[in-house]
Amino acid sequence: MTLRIAMIGHGFMGAAHSQGWRVAPRFFDLPEAVEMAVVVGRNADAVAAAAEKWGWAESATDWREVITREDIDIVDIVTPGDSHAEIAIAALEAGKHVLVEKPLANTVEEAEAMADAAARAAERGVRSMVGFTYRRVPAATLARDLVAAGRIGEIRQVRASYRQDWLRDAEGPMTWRLDKERAGSGALGDIGAHAIDLSEYITGLRLASVSGVVDTIVAERPLLADGVGLSGTASTERGIVTVDDVALVSGRYAAAEGAYAPLGSFEATRFATGRKNALRVEVSGSLGAVAFDLERLNELSFYDATLPANEQGFRTIYVTEHDHPYLAPWWPAGHMLGYEHGFSHQAVDLVTAIADGTQPEPSFADGLHVQRVLDAVERSSAAGSAWISTD
């Protein structure tokens, strides 16, 4: 059987997902063949160029027509968040498996509708997944495996941050990511969602309550002559930034009865001068600690507190061995992977789950949980950083 894919949207994430779909079947023995059937965009010329560049068989401009085609099996959604719910629900109701970029939606209400549609579709064998791709960086997966195996003991504290600096120039132009109607939120939802999800993935715990503050550092930015976007000539008009630039959050994870419920601290910012893509998660336990840093994505820092005192200290595990997660089909040991490889691993996991008839992770229900955390942070900030439940 061949699973034929339609990707809705193109751009930065379109390139990343295309790379994943194109490369995965050439390195991994997938249980089903995949075909990059059609990419969809609003501008016919632009999407046709994307199809030719990235290897899609054809292009189209009407996603509604594409998702009803009998020759389409998987719909991959890489559009801005304001269209996730409409496209995903329609695709699921049309019987298509769905992959959607994070965060799941722009609001809790949209995410709830998507999760409900996914649950109904699952009863018919239709699968759905959210693209929290950093779970599939081998070093991050290894961190999860070490924690699950008890290597760091009882979890005591979590620190997670995602820091970038691409908005530090106050005269940088408006983009759709700075418009709440399209993006849902700013640094909090765009990159903070990754820090939240990855912390929960590595620890196996879920945030139960949060206290946070969000802020907009630059309130107005120049519009481009051709409208909001990343290319074109800046005009003299200015647009209002309606999302956050920075989010600082404290959280408490849920724990089994009688167990300690650890605290976590989170930061998401696009104003960390000098930090380009600095996602970091550190988990401290009673027997040790693990620390993952995306800017050193082939490494995992591990501390074993059970060693004699004169042997203790963080050591670096180079996550390049064939025994490490996802690594066996790739290169000889010591030959490192990059950012793009996580998207191939994402494709592998989704296709495998579809073939096995199992629920791929993270599910839409997982995505809904993260959406509720994001919403709780915003409500906490509006209430003077009050503690808010994520239920």
* Beta-bridge mates of residue 15: none
Q: What pLDDT score was predicted for residue 224?
A: 82
Domains of the chain: 2-134 (3.40.50.720), 138-296+298-335+370-382 (3.30.360.10)
Please tell me the distance from the alpha carbon of residue 106 to that of residue 331, in angstroms, as a whole number.
Answer: 39
Mean pLDDT along residues 38-59: 98
What is the pLDDT confidence band of residue 230, given thresholds at 50, 70 and 90? very low
pLDDT tens digits, one per residue of 304-341: 999 999 999 999 999 999 999 999 999 999 999 999 99
Query: What is the rounded CA–CA span in Å between residue 6 and residue 70?
Result: 12
Average pLDDT on 290-297 reads 98
First-to-last C-alpha distance (Å) of the chain: 41
Pick from 344, 354, 364: nearest CA to 127: 354
Give me the pLDDT at residue 127, please. Answer: 98
Q: Is 64 left (phi over 0), alpha (psi -120 to 50) or beta?
A: alpha
Bridge-based pairing of strands 128-131 and 155-163 is unpaired
pLDDT-based confidence at residue 228 (cuts at 50, 70, 90):
very low
Of 62, 55, 49, the residue nearest 26 (C-alpha): 55
- What's the number of CA atoms in the CB half-sphere (13 Å) around residue 355? 15
pLDDT confidence of residue 231: 47
The pLDDT of 163-179, averaged and rounded, is 95
6 contacts 66 by C-beta, under 8 angstroms: yes
Residue-averaged pLDDT of the chain? 96
Each residue's pLDDT tens digit, 71-114 = 999 999 999 999 999 999 999 999 999 999 999 999 999 999 99
Instruction: Provide the token pair at 285.
Output: 């336990």
Note the pTM of the prediction, 2 decimals.
Answer: 0.95
Whether 235 has a pLDDT exceeding 60, the answer reads no
Q: Say yes or no to pLDDT of 131 above 80.
A: yes
Query: For residue range 246-288, what is the model confidence (pLDDT) as tens digits?
Result: 999 999 999 988 899 999 999 999 999 999 999 999 999 999 9
pLDDT reported for residue 121: 98
DSSP state letters, 213-256: EEE-S--EEEEETTSSSSSS-EEEEEEE--S-SEEEEEEEE---
Section 135-162 average pLDDT: 98
Please state the φ and ψ torsions of residue 275, each to the nearest 5 degrees.
-100, 120
**What's the rounded Cα separation, in Å, for the pair 217 and 49?**
37
Question: Which token pair is 197?
Answer: 């999800």
Please answer whether residues 99 and 131 qualify as being in contact, where contact means their C-beta atoms are separated by less than 8 angstroms.
yes
> What tokens appear for 70 in the block?
């009998």
Burial 234-269 (b: 16+ CB within 10 A, else e): eeeeebebebbbbbbbbbbbeeeeeeeebebebbbb
| Residue 236 in this model has a pLDDT that exceeds 90 | no
Token pair belonging to 252: 């408490």
DSSP 384: T
pLDDT value at position 256?
A: 84
